[in-house]
Amino acid sequence: MSTTRREFVKEVVVGTAGLAVANSVGSWAADTGHKYDNLVHKFVYKKGGGGPGAADYVCRIGGKEMNDRETNFSFGYYSKVGAWNSAETGAHTHPYDTCLVFAGLEPKDPNYLGAEIEMVLGPEFEKHVINVPSFVCIPKNFPYGQITTKKAEKAFAHYDIGLARDYAVSKFAGKAAAPASGNKYDHLIKKMSATGQPGANKIGPGNADWLSWPKAKDLEGFIVNFTWGFYSGLGNWHDIPGFDPHEHEGDEFLVFVSLDATKPYDLGAVIDQHVGKEEESHIVTVPQVIVCPALFTHAPVITKKVDKTYGFFLIRRDTGERYSPNKQTPAKKPA
């Protein structure tokens, strides 16, 4: 999507802070209109509501806003103690499989979440505590809820991935007198470190410094795979001869985010993302999602400028075992 300097400054913030961000990206902010602008969707954050522990900033994007694909997701920053939704005294369900991701924002320590989060799982309201970067698999119509931040040393990120076009939620009819102890649902909670790829930057100079990449086999068989990574390098993300441009069997969503919870629009980098068989160049300077429908050609990705480490995650609607149709994934898997 095209971004003029004036539009960029307006979207980030009004005043000197916004000008400082604009100056950091310089002339890269001035992109021109392209054929595939309709696949690029910039984030619009809102203040979270519902409880004292609700998001500081959150953005929810449904399939309708993402070119009618069968996926919805949210991304937000959390730093406050308390219930995320004070009105929820029970649990809720979704009519589709869901992945909940709790990610740290500290590039120097990828295994640091900076918070302690309590939630209940299952009709028994089994209580679980998350204190390291983790993801939680929520099967279709499975009750969960009462998410509460018990401790917050530092802001953290949370995103959920719903495997359906439209976000939908229903109140769970069951009720428990109090959250129960137990480990029946321990298998639904996975540590990011279990799927960590610390050598991701070796794939290309612009690739991740650290990356977690769970596949369908790690996600209770859900037909999805996703990542979370920290990026600070310059250059091509995929230094693999003949790899780019490439395509995937499933829809893929490329998401660029800031690691600064107080400045959610300040990406701090300039990335040249190529899309389409034409390798049309799209300059990324603000948080956004780029939609790549199944079998849509995209890449290369080239980081042009980095003022500070930024975050990136992809969501892809296939098992993640192959990066391109009829082509097996190499030992080192590019993002």
SS3 123: coil
The domain that contains 123 carries what CATH number? 2.60.120.10
38 belongs to a structural domain? yes
102 belongs to a structural domain? yes
Please give the chain's pLDDT, 335 residues, in tens.
333 333 333 333 333 333 333 333 344 444 556 899 999 999 999 999 999 999 999 999 998 899 999 999 999 999 999 999 998 888 999 999 999 999 999 999 999 999 999 999 999 999 999 999 999 999 999 999 989 999 999 999 999 999 999 999 999 988 766 667 789 999 999 999 999 998 888 899 999 999 999 999 999 999 999 999 999 999 999 998 989 999 999 999 999 999 999 999 999 999 999 999 999 999 999 999 999 999 999 999 999 999 999 999 999 999 998 777 756 555 444 44
217 belongs to a structural domain? yes
269 belongs to a structural domain? yes
- Confirm if 229 and 312 have CB atoms less than 8 A apart: yes
Report how many domains make up the chain. Answer: 1
Question: pLDDT value at position 175?
Answer: 75
Question: pLDDT value at position 13?
Answer: 33
Question: pLDDT value at position 279?
Answer: 95
Question: pLDDT value at position 198?
Answer: 87
293 belongs to a structural domain? yes
- Confirm if 215 and 226 have CB atoms less than 8 A apart: no
Q: Compute CA distances 158 → 61, 103, 113, 169, 183, whole Å.
A: 14, 6, 11, 18, 23
Q: Which domain holds residue 256?
A: 5-328
334 belongs to a structural domain? no
333 belongs to a structural domain? no
335 belongs to a structural domain? no
SS3 20: helix
**pTM for the complete prediction?**
0.88
Of the candidates 43, 315, 39, 320, the one whose C-alpha atom is nearest the C-alpha of residue 161 is 315
